[in-house]
Structure 1
């Protein structure tokens, strides 16, 4: 009767602890002890090759550094040129805007001289309602600000949940209109019937003008406009954002505040007002 027993072989970890040195190192040590390693000439050639390689790398690094330093003044000049062009355009736009405001005021003065008092008053009311004229009164001020920015520890990306979005400003403006606001401005930019609030990367544009946090939304309207906004859907939504993401939200009453006129109002459709002519009834003897 023969018995077959189990055969145990050492596992990898056990063998690693017993022989930590790679067999190739042991073979190389044995060949060196027997004098079978590379000779002096081979070692000298190897050292020479390494020295030449290191010198070549050093020369390439020096050439790359000198080229980078030589290109730096050109990049600086290009950057300064672009900055100067932006500043010149900005100055030109400011001058043109001032001239447009002056011409608008001159037109309003001439129009007041040509039209009667009742007609001028009606035009001023229409301009105030459409945003073409500055308005003054009481209402509410809504303040929205970004919360703390966090970074994803895994990907390193910035988390934008705590940043105010263009949809948040749209929601606030629509809620104020619904609550009875007669005029609204976001960071001084007056809203009109054709205004747009859009996101461009991390920036928010109101009528193609950038606005930044904190966002001040001032609305003129009823005395209880601030309370209605805070207790409405938009106010509860922003309060939830404060609890969840740490954003800043606040409302307050404002008195005797002035909202400037809109800088640009692009009319899309206009219709002339044609006075109604009385209809003449046919005479009895006519056909």
Structure 2
């Protein structure tokens, strides 16, 4: 017949107490007195205190007592112990020598492989830079031929469209927003790095969307121009703008109205970053940007789309899709801190 846990006898309950937790149970008919008497509460020492009070393991004490009783080893026992110790040391030394020789034999191959990989990366990087310069030169040549063949009004309209879509470099004034990661701490118990003070991809998305909403005509993050198809994503602890990594400090430069910096600072994005700065130590600064140049976007993929629903009324507010240029009637909010 099973019994409720509350019906357990005091003697059985005493078995569940930690060793040394109670000194004396008194009568079996009731619990010990926590205020003194026969049931005075006494907590056992912690591990460090126990270690310093009893530094010698009982096994070593027994061995020392047995040796004192039997006396030092002599004769055959002593020779056997010496031979065993010598053989053990010889085997350990042999294994160390073999391991060292294998490590040294494999080191040149690892060093050579690493050097080859570094050389390939440098060669590919140089080739990429050369091809990019060639592509820029061809783009300028195409633009010159286009301007020569098209009429002035048509060429001007095309240049405006290129500036809006990010296919051409633009120049003007606007705002400069700088966000820097806060101090990163390490948990003293688990050793895990705490990333609350690091800037997230959603933070940069919010900043870009707020700048578009405030009237920005072009935006660049750490040299990467944003377009209607740009994406800001988190990959581990790295942030990618499209497919290119960016790191702290994050500099967001936007071209737009003269009061763009003030509107951003006083708006919801400015309040959001002020809260991050006060709570996590993330550095945040907004300033006016005069006469800045934003380069054209690289690897821009052209796409064609048609709305599946009727367009919104002309008086509706414009918000942005993801982190790209403003698109009427669409918005993206992803994740959170």
Q: How high is the TM-score relative to the length of structure 1?
A: 0.82
Structure 1 residues 246-285: aligned runs within 5 Å: 246-269=281-304
2:258 equivalent in structure 1? 223
Structure 1 residues 130-169: aligned runs within 5 Å: 130-169=165-204
Measure the CA separation in 2 of the matches of 1:214 and 1:21: 59
Q: Which runs of 4+ in 1 moved over 3 A?
A: 20-27
Structure 1 residues 1-287: aligned runs within 5 Å: 24-25=62-63, 28-29=66-67, 31-32=69-70, 40-269=75-304
Q: Quote the RMSD (CA, aligned, Å).
A: 2.4
Instruction: Tell me the CA shift for residue 30 of structure 1.
Output: 6.6
Q: How many residues align?
A: 254
Which runs of 5 or more structure 2 residues have no equivalent in the other structure? 1-26, 28-43, 46-52, 307-337
Of 199-208 and 165-174, deviating more is 199-208
Of 23-32 and 202-211, deviating more is 23-32
SS state of the match for residue 126, structure 1? helix
Instruction: Tell me the CA shift for residue 27 of structure 1.
Output: 6.1
Instruction: Tell me the CA shift for residue 159 of structure 1.
Output: 1.2
Measure the CA separation in 2 of the matches of 1:257 and 1:239: 26
Measure the CA separation in 2 of the matches of 1:30 and 1:217: 79
- Rg larger in 1 or in 2? 1
CA shift in 2, pair 1:125/1:52, >3 Å: same
CA-to-aligned-CA distance 1:147-201 (integer Å, 9 cap, x gap): 1111111111211111111111111101111111110000111100011111122
Instruction: Tell me the CA shift for residue 143 of structure 1.
Output: 0.2
Which runs of 5 or more structure 1 residues have no equivalent in the other structure? 1-5, 7-11, 272-287
